[in-house]
């Protein structure tokens, strides 16, 4: 019995060792079991390393063999995308470059009237000198083969022998500028030399009439620099001719004395009085008729992305039934055009906030007189000018924005970004630059919406010759066409979503 009792502690010890070994305690387990457990642990760790955190595959190097097909697909799609974008750049951005391609040859489209009243009764005592010289100079410049404005001589009878009718022709945009040789241009030269008239003003001989608010870019980049060349050459040519005639009688003491009293009658002899009927002023109007209108396109474009998630809530059955599709289309269209009403108001208020004149007040209302810049821009509709301006921007947003809505639904992402570039370039190319001096390819620009927004904005803000009916008509037509296409674009977008169609290969 004593031996049995003495063996019980050792038996308990061996049992406890065995239990410890099964529990995997490295301090008591046999070496063999330890090796087996370490091997299993290494295998699990390796598998876990391949899967990475969360059971997903661990990242590998770029040249890993398992990425071979991914690299091939990525390279091919990268190459295709690059080629397409290069083709887009060459095809669409070249439209803007092409605007200036033939400007030198097309400057003759900028018509400048030369109307010679010189020598008309009762100022016909001497044969005219100034008028014929200036008419001949214009003809020589046109036929010189050098870049020249379209100088054209018209008889006074075409304007009822009234210089004010020539000014009216400039205001009515029948020409870009007019050079009027006054009836007494030559007679005043003779009178100054014959009488020694100290008050003789050379600038009383010729008038230059224009209105730079019609298109300030055209005037300051192309028209006025070439007119400066014409005026300089005209002054020199008449001065040389007239000086030679006067010096033939220089031996006469009376003539010499008169020349000393009125030297301006000999040099420069003549000058040009310039009348800018509608000056481009104030300069805060620049955004309203140029770069600021680009943002009108951009606002119209990006409103689609902001409002689409709101509209789609009607189709997601989250605790409510979906809306009928045709009612969703009607809601989307109505919500969009109403949003344009308020967005265009915010855009229009910017010009008002920066003190562009919308309330009349300019004392000069005649179409043939120069407006007074100290009263601001001579708006076209008095106290109703802002309302007309707001409605123009509203219909401009409808014309520009509904087109963006339709295209965004038809082509999808990322093509909408390219559409925005196309839409901006084609509108800017035909709105901020005069189509008269662009290649004939751009004649479609007369139907583009921004062209009419810019033209009407200038008329509203500066009181220019009005074509407001045509401008609004074109914008409304754009809105009507895009409204008709709107349900079709919505249907196509729904079809794409239902059939999981993707326009982009990546």
pLDDT band at 400 (very low <50, low <70, confident <90, very high): very high
| Range in 140-144, 242-246, 390-394, 398-402 with the lowest mean pLDDT | 242-246
* Mean pLDDT for the chain overall: 88
Residue 36 has pLDDT above 80, yes or no: no
The secondary element (H helix, E strand) that includes residue 272 is strand 272-276
More confident residue, 494 or 386: 386
Residue 301 has pLDDT above 70, yes or no: yes
pLDDT digits (tens, 9 = 90+) for 352-376: 999 999 998 899 999 999 999 999 9
Helix (H), strand (E) counts: the chain? 18, 5
More confident residue, 321 or 486: 486
The burial class, CB within 10 Å (0-12 / 13-18 / 19+), for 59 is exposed
CA distance 204 to 354: 39
pLDDT band at 503 (very low <50, low <70, confident <90, very high): confident
State residue 48's pLDDT score.
52
Q: Side-chain half-sphere of 474: how many Cα atoms within 13 Å? A: 19
* C-alpha 501, offset from chain centre: 34
pLDDT digits (tens, 9 = 90+) for 171-214: 999 999 999 999 999 999 999 999 999 999 999 999 999 999 99
Residue 44 has pLDDT above 90, yes or no: no
Q: Which of 412, 481, 409 is nearest to 448 (CA)?
A: 481
Residue 29 has pLDDT above 60, yes or no: no
CA distance 395 to 386: 14
State residue 52's pLDDT score.
52
Which residues, including other chains, have CB under 8 Å from residue 189's CB and lie 6 or more apart?
Answer: 129, 130, 205, 242, 265, 269, 270
Which residues, including other chains, have CB under 8 Å from residue 57's CB and lie 6 or more apart?
Answer: 50, 51
CA distance 329 to 349: 30
- What is the average per-residue pLDDT within 78-101? 95
| Range in 28-42, 53-67, 175-189, 364-378 with the lowest mean pLDDT | 28-42
| Range in 49-63, 286-300, 394-408 with the lowest mean pLDDT | 49-63
State residue 38's pLDDT score.
47
- Kindly tell me the sign of the dihedral angle through the C-alpha atoms of 419, 420, 421, 427: positive
Residue 7 has pLDDT above 60, yes or no: no
| Range in 16-30, 57-71, 208-222 with the lowest mean pLDDT | 16-30
- What is the average per-residue pLDDT within 209-220? 96
State residue 11's pLDDT score.
42
CA distance 451 to 398: 14
Q: Report the SS3 class of residue 109.
A: helix
pLDDT digits (tens, 9 = 90+) for 105-130: 999 999 999 999 998 988 888 999 99
State residue 54's pLDDT score.
53
The model carries a pTM of: 0.84
Residue 50 has pLDDT above 60, yes or no: no
- What is the average per-residue pLDDT within 41-46? 50
CA distance 341 to 371: 33
pLDDT digits (tens, 9 = 90+) for 129-148: 999 999 999 999 999 999 99
- What is the average per-residue pLDDT within 275-298? 95
**Core vs surface per residue 209-223: b (16+ CB within 10 A) or e:** bbbbbbbbebbeebb
């Amino acid at each position: 019995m004593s031996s049995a009792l003495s063996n019980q502690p050792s038996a308990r010890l061996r049992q406890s060792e065995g239990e410890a070994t099964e529990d995997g305690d490295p301090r008591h387990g046999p070496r063999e079991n330890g090796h087996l457990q370490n091997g299993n642990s290494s295998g699990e760790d390796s598998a876990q390393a391949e899967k990475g955190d969360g059971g997903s595959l661990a990242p590998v190097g770029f040249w890993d063999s398992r990425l071979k097909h991914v690299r091939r697909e990525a390279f091919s799609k990268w190459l295709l995308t690059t080629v397409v974008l290069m083709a887009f750049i060459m095809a669409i951005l070249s439209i803007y470059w092409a605007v200036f391609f033939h400007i030198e040859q097309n400057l003759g489209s900028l018509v400048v009237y030369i109307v010679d009243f010189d020598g008309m009764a009762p100022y016909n005592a001497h044969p005219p000198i100034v008028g014929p010289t200036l008419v001949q100079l214009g003809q020589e410049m046109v036929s010189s083969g050098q870049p020249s404005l379209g100088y054209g001589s018209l008889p006074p009878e075409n304007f009822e022998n009234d210089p004010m009718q020539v000014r009216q022709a400039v205001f009515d945009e029948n020409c870009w500028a007019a050079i009027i040789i006054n009836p007494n241009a030559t007679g005043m030269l003779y009178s100054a030399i014959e009488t020694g008239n100290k008050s003789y003003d050379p600038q009383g001989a010729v008038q230059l009439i224009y209105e730079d608010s019609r298109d300030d870019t055209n005037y300051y980049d192309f028209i006025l620099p070439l007119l400066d060349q014409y005026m300089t050459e005209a002054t020199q040519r008449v001065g040389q001719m007239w000086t030679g005639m006067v010096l033939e009688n220089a031996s006469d003491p009376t003539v010499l004395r008169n020349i000393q009293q009125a030297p301006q009658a000999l040099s420069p002899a003549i000058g040009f009085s310039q009348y800018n009927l509608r000056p481009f002023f104030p300069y805060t109007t620049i955004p309203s008729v140029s770069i600021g209108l680009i943002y009108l396109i951009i606002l119209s474009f990006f409103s689609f992305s902001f409002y689409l998630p709101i509209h789609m809530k009607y189709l997601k059955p989250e605790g409510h039934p979906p809306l009928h599709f045709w009612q969703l289309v009607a809601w989307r269209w109505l919500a969009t055009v109403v949003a344009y009403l308020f967005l265009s108001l915010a855009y229009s208020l910017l010009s008002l906030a920066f003190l562009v004149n919308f309330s009349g007040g300019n004392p000069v209302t005649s179409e043939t007189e120069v407006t007074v810049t100290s009263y601001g821009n001579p708006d076209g509709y008095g106290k109703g000018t802002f309302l007309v301006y707001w409605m123009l921007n509203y219909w401009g947003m409808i014309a520009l924005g509904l087109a963006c809505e339709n295209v965004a639904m038809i082509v999808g992402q990322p093509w909408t970004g390219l559409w925005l570039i196309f839409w901006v370039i084609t509108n800017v190319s035909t709105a901020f630059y005069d189509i008269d001096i662009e290649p004939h390819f751009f004649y479609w620009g007369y139907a583009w919406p921004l062209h009419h927004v810019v033209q009407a904005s200038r008329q509203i803000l500066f009181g220019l010759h009005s074509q407001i009916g045509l401008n609004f008509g074109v914008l409304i037509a754009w809105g009507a066409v895009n409204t008709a296409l709107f349900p079709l674009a919505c249907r196509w977008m729904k079809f794409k979503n239902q059939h999981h169609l993707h326009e982009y290969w990546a």
